[in-house]
Every structure is written in C-alpha cells, then in structure tokens.
A and B are shown apart, each in its own frame.
Chain A
C-alpha cells in the first residue's frame, strides 16, 4: 500500500533520519488552536497523529487525559475532529494524518460511516488503542479496502507467535510501545533495550515501517533515532498545559518544541 504515510517514511529515509510523528488531541485547547498547532508543527513533523478524545481512556496517562478532557469540555465532537483534519489537509501545510482513539467512539458513530468519513476527509491512517489483534481483523480489512492504513500496536509483552502474526497482517506502519506504561510514563527502559526489541520486529519484516512511541521526550529522542519513526505525544500535550498555565501562546510554544525535537534527530 503506497499512500502518503509510506511516502513520508521514504522521504525521511532518504534524509537518513527517523520520521517525526507528533500526537495532539483534536480541539485542544480550542478547535481553532488545535488547527493552528497542526499547521505550525507541520514544518517539522512528518506525520501528524490526531487524537479524538474519549472520557474513559484506559491506556492514556495524565498528560493526554488532561488534553482530552479539555477538548471534550470545549465541546469537541467527532464531526469537529473531521473538520479540523479536513481544514489541515486542504491547507498548504498538509501532512499525512493518523487518527487515534478508542473503539467505542467508532462503534457509536457507525463503523462504515466512520471509515467513509475518514476517507472523505483524507485521513491516511487509524490507531484504535483498544482494538487489538485478532479482534481487529475485520476492521483492519475495512480500512484496507479504503486505502486507510490500520496501524497495529506491538508491546514488550507481545508473545513471539503474536508478533509474527501481527506483523504479517499489519499494513504499512507498525507502532512499537516502548515499555509497559500508559502514554507519557517516565522512560523506565534504556533506549538501548528499546532499540533491541525494535530490531526484533524489523528482523521479521524489514519492509514494514516501525515507529516507537510512549515516554519519548526531548531528552531521550536522539538516543532512539535508528528507528523508522518516533512518536512524541504526552510531552506535547504537557507543553500545551504548561503554556496555558503560564499565560503563554500554546501554538508558538508547541511549534518551538517540535522544532527542537526535529533538530535532535537530524
């Protein structure tokens, strides 16, 4: 499947660096600002993950929870999420977009309707945190039919057998969870160990793009740059929160941060 996501990885590879993936919650801290943030960081980010906020997240740590609750409080609905992404994709700053969230939101919206609207709004990929393999087989196929990448997750606890099956059924991107943690936990495993586990995945199929996420910050990102891609989420959400607390502009603060992140992996 050659879609915009694969192209983004190819471009990064040509430049001998990992792709930089950012995660922000749609509507955080306002609908307008979240679009502004996407546009501002797109200069440095290769792929933008955009969260559709859920109020009962079972895999997110404090930072993303705070961003999600802020967005929900601001009245962000799925249709707003689509609108933000559409406006971003139609702008001159457009980058590949992966929507990320929990299955109940998709279920209530209607699975086919959700996927059709993803297609209509030019969404390139999907991560559904609580729809693991093999439960996600049907849904992943529905994505494939619409040329939307369904991103499979792999964790340090994933068994060998599962690993091969998941990689085999994955599309063009795999997400390796760096450690046992909710999003944004303190990195409790050494970057060396994380890269070792990452390589196990790459050995099974070197062609699949594999990104590492969870707990990556300005401090640790450079030590992981041998990966195909690196995701920074909670650190960005935290930056939004602290800029709001300090009366600063979240758009410039986040943009500066992502610029720094990019510089560390060049």
Chain B
C-alpha cells in the first residue's frame, strides 16, 4: 500500500471507492446507489467549478469566519519545557468547531441539487448544531439524528440545534450514541432519498461522504499553511501536527495540505479516545489493532466481535465515541504516513485542566485528548521543534461534565 504524491489523498481510491484497495467503498442498499451516484456527479462537477469555489470561499470567509487563529501557547510552552507549542484555534469558527465546513458544503450541494430537506447525524452535537445553522442560513428544513445518551450529556448543543429550528430525532437503539445515530440517519435517507439530502457528520460513510467531508475540512490546513509561512517564513524543519481522531474529519482537514512533506519534517499524530483507564471499552480502533470490517457503508478498522457485530465504545467525549474510523485514516495508518495513539478519559481531563490554566483557550474534551499526548511528547522534544495542536472544539458544550469531574465552572 502506497501513498501517491501530487494528487490529493481524497482522489487516491480505485473505481469501487477503495483506498489502498481495502478501505472505504460503497456497502449500501440498492436504493442508495442512485442518490449516491447523483451526489458523486454533482460534487465532481462543482469542485472544479470556479463559481462554486468562490461561493464556498465567500461563505467560509464571511460566515464561518476564516481564517481561524494560529497562536503560540507561550505559557504552556514554558510550563512544559521542550518543543514550542502552538494551536490552530479552529473553535473560533462560527458555531465553535470544524463541523461547520462540512455542513456548509453539504447545504450548498443540497441547494444545487434542488433538495429542500437535509438530514444529519451527530454525536457531540457539533455536527448537528452546525448542520442546523447552515440549513437555516440556506433555507433548508433540517432533521438531526442523535443518540439518547448523547442528548443527555450534550445539552448546550441540543438547545442550539432546536433554537435553529431543526428537529431532533432521539435514537434509542443499541448504545444510544453516535454509531446508532448514523445508522438511523442512513435508514431515514434510504426511505426519503428522493426529497432529502444527507450530510454524514464526519469523514465516514460511503465513499462520496468521506470525500466531501475531507474536502471541506481541508480548509483548516489551507489556512494553517499560509499562517505558518507568515510566521516562520518557511515550513519548519521539525513540525508535528497533533489532532484527536474520532471519525477523523478535523484531523484529516488539519493534515491534508501537508500530506506530501516527508514525515520526518511534518509528522501527523492522531489521538484516539482510549476511554476510562479502568474500562476495557474504548473508541480507538487504530491504536488497539481492531480488525477491518464494514460499518456504515465503508470498510475500515472497527471495534467488533469475532462474528462481526459492532462493539459498544466508551469515551468521555461524545465526539470521539465511535467504533470505527475514517477509511482515510486507515489508509494513512497502513501507509505509515500518520502515527496513531490513544489518550484516556483521565488524560484528557488533565490536559484540559493544564491548558485552560496556562492559556486563554478552553479546548473541548475531544481536542483535550490531542493536547494530552502533545504535552507529554513535547517535553522530550527539542526547542526548535514546532508542535501544533488543533483545538477543534470549544469546551462550553462539556461544561456539565467538567463541573462534575473537575469542579470547573464555565
């Protein structure tokens, strides 16, 4: 398995939609073949269309608020004592997280295809919140599928979704988290694909949804590359990009523009959710060597039992609480372009405490996983190494959990 240069990873799949011949694809019911083919044709046409690109850029700039900040975390750097620690504060984006990029593009596509309704899944509630914002902005009716357990633990985002006029459909099947929300959303699309567009909330699902999402979040690294050049005059000799990985949309977008650099110069570190340190359950299929299986229309490393039943996950962060992972990350793992590791619930909480103590940013529990690994590795790295952590979500949505676990009031 090999990664090609000078061609976007997004386009390095075969005619059946597989990256590296084994990750991704389209394992979907016959009914979805046509809407998926239609979406592929529309996206292939529009991504080369200058007018569409400038429309996207217009909304990213004026509505999402591009570029998000790229800041040095001087106090944290001093405290850790090692590499220089920086952050790309993607939580600056309208709505408070990277999910806005994918939601905006899906709503633009839905408008072009003449659909009036858009449905989407959500775990932490960010994908749902952003989709409801974008749907409102572009005049689409919106339905959000969310696990009943997640509805309980992510109330601020639930309220936001409702205030944007979207309908929340609670999902009570299975573990009542993201995996069930995605299944239910896909089932809804099977039954309504003639009138409704679907937005998959991460770089997961059938091939085209992986591509649209990765293409959308790549805005993060497009901005970052310019900001790095402005700051350092060149791409530093030792650059390490840390990002949490659930489905993998923010990390892919954070890395995309740096894909062709040698990994000794620009290293990618993906941090999965290891779950509670005392629990055997986790949401880290790449780190803990899960087997390749099919989930939500795509082949990927996924937590499952010997029979192929998808296993329940456990993580303090609803956004990372997913048994599978993007086919793109499976491909980056097997081609050894990216390195993957996990942080536990406790690690993430500790990292949140440290970062918010020393700096004025407050990463949500998802990026706190990335901060945890970045901080512990930065200690051992030379001073001329640049560590950048994508702070892809704001902790406001986690305030109930943070209050309970750390006694912190947000």
Contact = CB atoms under 8 A, between A and B. Distances in A.
A4 interface: no
B192 interface: yes
A105 interface: yes
A56 B295 contact: yes
B291 interface: yes
B29 A108 contact: no
B173 A131 contact: no
A56 B179 contact: yes
A153 B294 contact: no
Interface residues of A, number: 40
21 contacts: A54-B308, A54-B309, A55-B174, A56-B296, A57-B183, A58-B187, A59-B187, A59-B190, A61-B187, A78-B307, A106-B308, A107-B293, A108-B307, A108-B308, A109-B308, A132-B30, A155-B29, A157-B30, A180-B31, A182-B190, A185-B191
Given A103-B27, A181-B190, A159 B34 contact: yes
A106 to B, nearest CB: 8
Interface in B175-232: 179, 183, 186-187, 190-194
Interface string A172-191: 00000100111001000000
Contacts of B174: 55-56, 69
A105 B304 CA distance: 10
A15 interface: no
Contacts of B306: 108
A182 B33 contact: no
Interface in A85-104: 102-104
A58 B34 contact: no
A129 to B, nearest CB: 6
B27 A131 contact: yes
B192 A132 contact: no
A97 B28 CA distance: 24
B79 to A, nearest CB: 43
Interface of B: 16, 25-35, 37, 173-174, 179, 183, 186-187, 190-194, 291, 293-297, 304, 306-310
A58 to B, nearest CB: 5
A45 interface: no
A77 B174 CA distance: 18
Residue in A155, A162, A177 with the greatest tally of chain B CB atoms within 10 Å: A155
Contact of A56 (B16, B31, B310): B310
Nearest to B295: A56
Contacts of A106: 308
A104 B28 CA distance: 12
Contacts of B193: 157, 180
Contacts of B29: 58-59, 129-130, 132, 153, 155
Given A56-B179, A56-B310, A135-B16, A180 B190 contact: yes
A137 to B, nearest CB: 10
A65 interface: yes
Contacts of A57: 183
B26 A132 contact: yes
A158 interface: yes
B191 A181 contact: yes
B294 A158 contact: no
Nearest to B205: A58
A159 B179 CA distance: 30
Nearest to B294: A104
Interface in A27-69: 54-61, 65, 69
Contacts of A56: 174, 179, 183, 295-296, 309-310
A55 B28 contact: no
A72 interface: yes
B302 to A, nearest CB: 8
Given A132-B29, A153-B29, A104 B296 contact: no
